[in-house]
Structure 1
Amino acid sequence: MRVLVATEKPFAAAAVEGIRKEIEGAGNELILLEKYTDNAQLIEAVGNADAMIVRSDKVTKEVLDAATDMKIIVRAGAGYDSIDTAYAKEKGIIVENTPGQNANAVAELVFGMLVYAVRGFYNGKSGTELYGKKLGILAFGNVGRNVARIAAGFGMEVYAYDAYCPKEVIESAGVKAVGSQDDLFRTCDIVSLHIPATPETKESINYAMVGLMRKGGILINTARKEVINEAELIKLMEERSDIKFITDIKPDADAEFAKFEGRYFSTPKKMGAQTAEANTNAGIAAARQINAYFKDGCTKFQVNK
């Protein structure tokens, strides 16, 4: 079988080496398409591939139509909204992700940005501490659980809300479960977003929701850009000079947010999974999942059932 690794932003060399070892060790052929600059290059490359590993690369209908032999696509990471999963299903192509492989990296970034924020972006003036602050985690998946683990080390009070995770599971991790998303925002000094971009969540973090936060509230987003209603958040920040917004996904309205000096920060590009360890873990996990599918038909991580 021919396995294409298509990465506009390439894996680290160690990750590619690990992927190659897994794929070729199972008797399959590895094809690399790295740092491509045009979608036409991806469309050409998928033509004779049986499987594909991607990162944040967009796998559109056009790409899927060109992938005439494709059987499985694995997103090396948790989020998969860059892949047209519904159309892939129509074409009989399995789409999987690699949940948990980037979780610690994203969680550590949350705290890197939080310390930066509460210390006034290191402007030389007196800041505040995270110790004793109330941290709210919206969605208690792999990343959320790692955030909770690290927050305990900072001595924070940790709360979480997840509509799909039982209260008992949240509380077994030493975290206080709240009854609603509103309660989470109303209770906490800081809210960290870890929700996927779905029809239900897109633009759900809006004026009314963030407006529930107590004075000095900090909203931090390492999830997806689409969950933020940017226009409404800008309106709120214009009205409330105490709110800070920290994000790992540059907003479309970045220039407008930038006017809130000392209250807004965005990484230049999405950095959550950008560690050597996460890069390697996710890539090798993707390779192993492809091998498992070809060997035993395993679809444990399929997201388009």
Structure 2
Amino acid sequence: MTKVLIATDKPFAPVAVNGIREIVEAQGYELVLLEKYASQDELIAAVADVDAMIIRSDKATKEVIEAAKKLKVIVRAGAGYDNIDLAACTAHNVVAMNTPGQNSNAVAELAFGMMVYMARNFFNGKSGSELKGKKIGIHAYGNVGQNVGRIARGFGMEVYAFDPFMTDEQIKNAGATPVHSAEEMYKMCQYVSLHIPATEQTKKSINYDLLKNMPKGAVLVNTARKEVIDEEGLAKLMEERADFHYITDIAPDCDCFSKFEGRFFATPKKMGAQTEEANVNAGLAAAHQIVNFIEKGDEKFRVNK
């Protein structure tokens, strides 16, 4: 019998687990759960005899993939997949997938929740500012970025986007004004929202030289990955510019940002996809993708070579 493992240190909502179970068991598969596990060793032990696996932010390391002797497919319930060792998956003939778009609205709404929170001085009773009429630059204009653009237009903001993998026409059709370099966009936009993945090319690419030319009252919004930020450079800039703000869904490694009171905010843990709707959407999508792959060989959302 085909065995599907849900391995989630941060568990799905019960309604999502029940939905996944219905999809999996309707095909005659067995579903097993590993939730709130205490160590990577528990995960390694759990994968020994599974054919498929669904994870969230859990680390599917080389050791995990090597221990999963029967594994055919692993699905990250979410957009980012840098928590999966793709090379190990390819080496062991495992198809790795993500579920793009399923949590995009949730992440975009969080970005705006943080922007409003910052613009209104953390609701401390003091006069703040409005988002209407401000320029927002969206760095990477995929599913999440386009949802940010949609909400920004509702706020009456001017929406610009930089994405080297999209044509001007695609960006325009998705409701933004295309910008042809990151440098150009950062110079013109008071708000910049990050949606780039953490790759060898992007890690620490959001650095002092890029950020220093942002307009007065600049606000950098990060719901992507902390690895894309050059924390040392950003901290230096915030020391030099009392008007620069940083809001993030990923707490920095450096604790130096806590001293920038009133200009820095980080959620206690990554919360972009932490809505009931996104939780359910991503989980059910992952289950459907596993079934479609096993039954039909469908690799539509494959992310490894």
Q: Which residue number corresponds to residue 266 of structure 2?
A: 266
State whether residues 188 and 215 of structure 2, in contact with CA within 8 Å, keep that contact through their aligned partners in structure 1: yes
Q: Which residue number corresponds to residue 89 of structure 1?
A: 90
Query: 1:27 Cα deviation (Å)?
Result: 1.3
Q: Which residue number corresponds to residue 30 of structure 1?
A: 31
Which string of whole-angstrom CA distances, capped at 9 and with x for unpartnered residues, describes residues 100-131 of structure 1? 00000000001100000011111211110000
Tell me which amino acid in the other structure corresponds to 2:257: F
Q: Which residue number corresponds to residue 190 of structure 1?
A: 191
Work out the number of aligned pairs and report it.
304
The secondary structure found in structure 2 opposite 1:48 is: coil
- Once residues 56 and 74 of structure 1 are traced to their aligned partners in structure 2, the CA distance between those partners, rounded to angstroms, is 11
Tell me which amino acid in the other structure corresponds to 1:132: G
State whether residues 66 and 88 of structure 2, in contact with CA within 8 Å, keep that contact through their aligned partners in structure 1: no
The secondary structure found in structure 1 opposite 2:74 is: strand
The secondary structure found in structure 1 opposite 2:47 is: helix
Tell me which amino acid in the other structure corresponds to 1:274: Q
- Once residues 298 and 174 of structure 2 are traced to their aligned partners in structure 1, the CA distance between those partners, rounded to angstroms, is 30
- Once residues 297 and 174 of structure 2 are traced to their aligned partners in structure 1, the CA distance between those partners, rounded to angstroms, is 34
Tell me which amino acid in the other structure corresponds to 2:129: T
Q: Which residue number corresponds to residue 233 of structure 1?
A: 234
Which string of whole-angstrom CA distances, capped at 9 and with x for unpartnered residues, describes residues 127-162 of structure 1? 100000000000000000000011111000000000
Query: 1:174 Cα deviation (Å)?
Result: 2.5
1:279-290 → structure 2 map (5 Å cutoff): 279-290=279-290
Question: Alignment RMSD, CA only?
Answer: 0.6
TM-score (norm: length of structure 2): 0.99
Q: Which residue number corresponds to residue 118 of structure 2?
A: 117
Query: 1:232 Cα deviation (Å)?
Result: 0.6
The secondary structure found in structure 2 opposite 1:9 is: coil
Q: Which residue number corresponds to residue 291 of structure 1?
A: 291
Which string of whole-angstrom CA distances, capped at 9 and with x for unpartnered residues, describes residues 148-193 of structure 1? 0111110000000001011101111221101111011001010000
Tell me which amino acid in the other structure corresponds to 2:127: S
Query: 1:61 Cα deviation (Å)?
Result: 1.1
Query: 1:26 Cα deviation (Å)?
Result: 1.3
The secondary structure found in structure 2 opposite 1:21 is: helix
The secondary structure found in structure 2 opposite 1:47 is: coil
The secondary structure found in structure 2 opposite 1:147 is: helix
State whether residues 135 and 189 of structure 2, in contact with CA within 8 Å, keep that contact through their aligned partners in structure 1: yes
1:37-116 → structure 2 map (5 Å cutoff): 37-116=38-117
Aligned-residue identity in percent: 61
Query: 1:300 Cα deviation (Å)?
Result: 0.4
Q: Which residue number corresponds to residue 246 of structure 1?
A: 247
Q: Which residue number corresponds to residue 139 of structure 2?
A: 138
- Once residues 106 and 62 of structure 1 are traced to their aligned partners in structure 2, the CA distance between those partners, rounded to angstroms, is 30
Query: 1:282 Cα deviation (Å)?
Result: 0.1
- Once residues 209 and 118 of structure 2 are traced to their aligned partners in structure 1, the CA distance between those partners, rounded to angstroms, is 23
Query: 1:87 Cα deviation (Å)?
Result: 1.2
Tell me which amino acid in the other structure corresponds to 2:286: A
The secondary structure found in structure 1 opposite 2:221 is: strand
- Once residues 192 and 83 of structure 1 are traced to their aligned partners in structure 2, the CA distance between those partners, rounded to angstroms, is 25
- Once residues 200 and 231 of structure 1 are traced to their aligned partners in structure 2, the CA distance between those partners, rounded to angstroms, is 18
Tell me which amino acid in the other structure corresponds to 2:140: A
Query: 1:219 Cα deviation (Å)?
Result: 0.1
- Once residues 40 and 75 of structure 2 are traced to their aligned partners in structure 1, the CA distance between those partners, rounded to angstroms, is 18
The secondary structure found in structure 1 opposite 2:259 is: coil
The secondary structure found in structure 1 opposite 2:111 is: helix
1:186-225 → structure 2 map (5 Å cutoff): 186-225=187-226
- Once residues 202 and 25 of structure 2 are traced to their aligned partners in structure 1, the CA distance between those partners, rounded to angstroms, is 40
Which string of whole-angstrom CA distances, capped at 9 and with x for unpartnered residues, describes residues 223-259 of structure 1? 0010000011000100111100000001101x20000
Q: Which residue number corresponds to residue 22 of structure 2?
A: 21
Tell me which amino acid in the other structure corresponds to 2:266: S
- Once residues 212 and 76 of structure 1 are traced to their aligned partners in structure 2, the CA distance between those partners, rounded to angstroms, is 37
Tell me which amino acid in the other structure corresponds to 1:27: G
Task: Specify every segment of 5 or more residues in structure 2 that has no aligned partner in the other structure, as ranges.
Answer: none
- Once residues 13 and 184 of structure 1 are traced to their aligned partners in structure 2, the CA distance between those partners, rounded to angstroms, is 42
Q: Which residue number corresponds to residue 176 of structure 1?
A: 177
- Once residues 227 and 279 of structure 2 are traced to their aligned partners in structure 1, the CA distance between those partners, rounded to angstroms, is 24
Task: Specify every segment of 5 or more residues in structure 1 that has no aligned partner in the other structure, as ranges.
Answer: none
- Once residues 165 and 90 of structure 1 are traced to their aligned partners in structure 2, the CA distance between those partners, rounded to angstroms, is 31
Q: Which residue number corresponds to residue 302 of structure 1?
A: 302
Query: 1:97 Cα deviation (Å)?
Result: 0.2
